[in-house]
Structure formats: C-alpha cells, structure tokens
Chains A and B, each alone.
Chain A
Amino acid sequence: EAGVAQSPRYKIIEKRQSVAFWCNPISGHATLYWYQQILGQGPKLLIQFQNNGVVDDSQLPKDRFSAERLKGVDSTLKIQPAKLEDSAVYLCASSLIAYDTGELFFGEGSRLTVL
C-alpha cells in the first residue's frame, strides 16, 4: 500500500515570496492533516480536512497560509508571503476518518527554508 506522498521535499525561497506544497494521502483515507514542525519542536497542527471540508483551521495563520482539498483527495498548502519564521518542515498526515482512535500516517515532509 502506498504511503502519504508529499512534494517538493525541499524548497528554498526568499522572504515575501510564495510557496506551495502538495500532499496525496493514503488511498481511502478521508481525513487529511497539515502539521508544521519547527526545528527542535514537535509537529503543530495547522489544519484538518474531512473529505473536502475543513474540520479545524483554528491554528492556521490565515493572513498568509491557505489550504485546500478540492476533490477530497489530494491537498495543497500555500504560504504567501513567506516570513523567516515559516522555515520548518511541513508534514502531511492522513487517517481513515476523523472521529476515530486509529493510527495517523505521515508523509516524509516538505522542508522549507526562508532566507
């Protein structure tokens, strides 16, 4: 079974530029999450989707971050304009359904460096 796919793996941009990350969850997983992991810290949830609807985006900095999952499968996370403090690894995860106590499966992440 294929895992969670993410691209690009690495991205270097200058501050005030924009960037987009893509995620394709495990087939059949209705719930998709984006996490931000700053160096030396645990991942922090940014947004959670159930199919193509947003369940929770309370921790997403909406002035610069946006995310969508239009067809309920793959998802895109965008940052515009980027700040130095956005340098982090952006992890995508999926699970079968949101209201479930099963496992969460993570992709390998997209590492962003903002100069």
Chain B
Amino acid sequence: KQEVTQIPAALSVPEGENLVLNCSFTDSAIYNLQWFRQDPGKGLTSLLLIQSSQREQTSGRLNASLDKSSGRSTLYIAASQPGDSATYLCAVPFSGGYNKLIFGAGTRLAVHP
C-alpha cells in the first residue's frame, strides 16, 4: 500500500534562506510525482510535475528532484520570500493508477521578513 510522508511538518524561516522540503513514498513503481501549493482557505495549485523518466524539474526559484529507487523527492526553494508562505504537498499516483493521487500531509512553510 502506497504511503507518502513529508518532513518537516512545519518550517519557519527568515526571508532569503534556501529551503529543502522532503517527501518520501513507500512504493517506487510510480508514473509521476507532483508538488502542490495550498494557500489558507484555497484549493491546490500544481507547482511541478516530474515524470518517472525524469530526475528533476525546475520552475523559477523552485526545483524538484525525484529518486524513484530510494522513494524520495525533494523540493528546493531558492531565496525564499514571504509570498512563499503556504502549505506544500507532494502526491504520487495510487499503485497502478495514473492521476488518482495519494497525498502527504504537507509541510507548512512560514517565511518572515
């Protein structure tokens, strides 16, 4: 049974720091991994989608890596800003599924000026 764990559960940092958020999953037979952002009271916004054949994806100050063999993904945020404050969730498809996603509980990030 696929399980997704995110560490840390919460993070508070000063503006300008480089951050690493971690995601681990138990079943390495995944088609892709997605990172989402969720602002308070809002839905989820897709940040990065990494296909199983890829090792990493980049979008602006965000870089996500995927190591299927070890069951891990990392979201790197460069030069953090207060506007980055949100909850970051990673998700992988159910075993044998495609877009039926299993989510981690998220990392709640607060970036203070």
Interface residues of A (CB under 8 A from B): 4, 6, 31, 33, 40-45, 48, 56, 91, 93, 95, 98-109, 111
Instruction: Select B99's contact among A4, A41, A43, A104, beta carbons within 8 Å.
Output: A104
Contact of B49 among A40, A102, A109 (CB under 8 A): A102
- Whole-angstrom distance between the Cβ of B8 and the nearest chain A Cβ: 14
The reply to whether A91 and B104 contact each other, CB–CB distance below 8 Å, is: no
* Least Cβ–Cβ distance between A9 and chain B, in angstroms: 9
Q: Is the CB of A101 within 8 A of B31?
A: yes
B43 touches A106 (CB 8 A): yes
Q: Is the CB of B43 within 8 A of A42?
A: no
Q: Is the C-beta of B81 less than 8 angstroms from some C-beta in chain A? A: no
What total of chain B residues lie within 8 Å of the partner, measured CB to CB?
27
Cβ of A42 and Cβ of B100 under 8 Å apart? Answer: no
Minimum CB distance partner of B6 in chain A: A42
- Is A48 a contact partner of B100 (Cβ separation < 8 A)? yes
Q: Are A42 and B98 in contact, CB atoms less than 8 angstroms apart?
A: no
- Bound CA span A93–B46, Å: 11
Known: A42-B91, A42-B106, A103-B49. A109 touches B99 (CB 8 A): no
Alpha-carbon distance between A76 and B89 when the two chains are bound, in angstroms: 26
Q: Do B51 and A101 touch (CB < 8 A)?
A: yes
Tell me if B91 and A98 are in contact (CB < 8 A).
no
Binary interface encoding of chain B residues 48-89 relative to chain A, with 1 for a CB under 8 A from any of its CBs, else 0:
010110000000000000000000000000000000000001
A104 touches B105 (CB 8 A): no
Q: Which of A6, A33, A40, A104 has the most CB of B within 10 A?
A: A104
Most chain A Cβ neighbours within 10 Å, of B45, B89, B99: B99
